[in-house]
């Protein structure tokens, strides 16, 4: 199978600090990775699409300066929430699209962020 991991799984931080979330594809190369945000009892909302070695494409309404995405290698993408505020508290999920694979995204287990 195709496994995607996220680290950390849980993070609590103070308002104003920055938090970095890592997304790794463990057994495949992910040419494209996606970052989603999920509010309680709601669906996943796509935040951005990142392709290895290029700038991420952000969805409308997502602040690119606040949610910094780096996709430096085919197995690692990072999401940095800069100057986090309580309204950024959410469940962040990444997924990877395998090059040459079928039309499937493989999801990480998610990272729960709580900003105090």
Q: Which is nearer to other proteins, 16 or 59 (CB)?
A: 59
The answer to the question of residue 96 lying near other proteins (CB under 8 A) is no
Residue numbers 66-95 binding other proteins by CB under 8 A: 91, 93, 95
Tokens of 56: 């991420």
CB contact set of 3 (below 8 Å; sequence gap of 6+): 25, 26, 27, 106
The whole-angstrom separation of Cα 30 and Cα 52 is 8
CB contact set of 42 (below 8 Å; sequence gap of 6+): none
CA distances from 99 to 23, 66, 82 (A): 17, 29, 30
Q: Which is nearer to other proteins, 82 or 105 (CB)?
A: 105
Least distance in angstroms from the C-beta of 61 to other proteins: 15
Residue numbers 20-59 binding other proteins by CB under 8 A: 32, 34, 42-44, 46, 49
- Contact residues for other proteins (CB under 8 A)? 4, 6, 32, 34, 42-44, 46, 49, 91, 93, 95, 97, 102-110, 112
């Amino acid at each position: 199978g195709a496994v995607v991991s996220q680290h950390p799984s849980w993070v609590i931080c103070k308002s104003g600090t920055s938090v970095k979330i890592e997304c790794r594809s463990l057994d495949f190369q992910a040419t494209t990775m996606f970052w989603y945000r999920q509010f309680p009892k709601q669906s996943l909302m796509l935040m951005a699409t990142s392709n290895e070695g290029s700038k991420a494409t952000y969805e409308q309404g997502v602040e690119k300066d606040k949610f910094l995405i780096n996709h430096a290698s085919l197995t690692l993408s990072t999401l940095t929430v800069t100057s986090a505020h309580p309204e950024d508290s959410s469940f962040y999920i990444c997924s990877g699209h395998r090059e040459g694979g079928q039309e499937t995204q493989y999801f990480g287990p998610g990272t729960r962020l709580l900003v105090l």
